[in-house]
Amino acid sequence: MRVGLTYDLRDDYRALGYSEEATAEFDSIETIDALADALQQLGFEVDRVGNVRALAGRLVAGDRWDIVFNIAEGVSGRGREAQVPALLEAYGQSCILSDSVTCGVTLDKALTKAIVSAAGVPVTPHAVVTDLAVLQDMAKQIVANPHLKFPLFVKPLAEGTGKGCEPACKVASREQLEQTCRMLIERFGQPVIVEPFLPGREFTVGIIGNGTDAQSLAVMEVLLGEQADAGIYSYRNKENFESLVSYRLVDDVTARRAAEVALSAYRALSCRDVARADLRCNADGEPVFMEINPLAGIHPHHSDLPIMAGMLGIPYTTLIARIMRAALERCGLRLPAELSQAA
């Protein structure tokens, strides 16, 4: 079975002059090598396609695959994560991980909250500041909103990997609110979302499967070290997790509730095959959904999903096998013998 790999390689964009922060969501060559090696061990023929432009050229040239393993994040725009799945759908190509609609929705944090809230998933109230022209009026409305009490947290509406999340994002006054909104809008060129700061425990939940068969792989708690940015899982903390952050698998009452909330969000958003959801507890200790990543990182040592799998004693190749099994069964495709044995 021939599997195409679509991805954005961090080194390619660095060579074009992109900053470290701008390339934070893109993949390292180590990730692509590890994924390709795991797939080959599972009996697949692997074709490294690359980014959306490379994919477009290959499709126009007539190239096809039995299925495409997509981890391409896209470069710009709110719909950037939907570009590769949409292109594959246009050419009738089966795709591993979520489709274009889910990838488009989940990058927008406010739209995601609206959908999962309608499904009964607990979320924080929020407001969106679309641009600098409405900043002062929106700041007045936010301060007057009884559901948006200080301290508040401000972050870009459509970013991942902690981009734009830093100590200044936690604000305690209208002046700080306006300053941080202005800074982030100018820096990222997109709206910001404002929500109450959640002071409790933070979890990330790995999920594998589809529909009612989807299951939580594990619940992992994020613990910040003494030298970390205090109180937030910031971009700096994520990029330097080995020295600033520690993780532990948890299975207490709160963690099990977090898994339930994450699964409800996963299903409400029609996520496919695998994803990772982030939650944090409110002042009452209740887990609240924050966001979900339908293109969860899969670096064998640095990404949350493989980290929690490793803590469970699940080898990297077995993790990829479970993802592939879920995707192939969903698509009605035959499982190679090596995959059947590994998963």
**Mean pLDDT across the chain:** 95
Q: What is the pLDDT of residues 122-175, one digit of tens each?
A: 999 999 999 999 999 999 999 999 999 999 999 999 998 788 999 999 999 999
Judgement on whether residues 206 and 191 belong to the same structural domain of the protein: no
- Tell me what pLDDT residue 341 has: 67
pTM for the full predicted model: 0.95
Roughly what angle, to the nearest 10 degrees, separates helices 100-107 and 109-118?
110
Judgement on whether residues 190 and 208 belong to the same structural domain of the protein: no
What is the β-pairing status of strands 127-129 and 95-96? unpaired
Q: What is the pLDDT of residues 185-241, one digit of tens each?
A: 999 999 999 999 999 999 999 999 999 999 999 999 999 999 999 999 998 998 899
Q: What is the pLDDT of residues 34-81, one digit of tens each?
A: 999 999 999 999 999 999 999 999 999 999 999 999 999 999 888 999
| Residue 180 belongs to domain spanning | 125-196
Is 108's pLDDT higher than 80?
yes
137: CATH = 3.30.1490.20
| Total of domains in the chain | 3
Between CA 27 and CA 38, with CA 33 as vertex, the angle to 5 degrees is 115
Give the residue from 294, 313, 335 where a domain finishes. Answer: 294
218: CATH = 3.30.470.20
- Tell me what pLDDT residue 266 has: 98
Residues 6+ apart with CB under 8 A from 203: 219, 220, 221, 222, 250, 255, 258, 278, 279, 280, 287
In a domain, 311, yes or no: no
26: CATH = 3.40.50.20
Judgement on whether residues 183 and 208 belong to the same structural domain of the protein: no
- Tell me what pLDDT residue 343 has: 64
Give the residue from 151, 174, 196 where a domain finishes. Answer: 196
Position 340 confidence tier, pLDDT thresholds 50, 70, 90: low
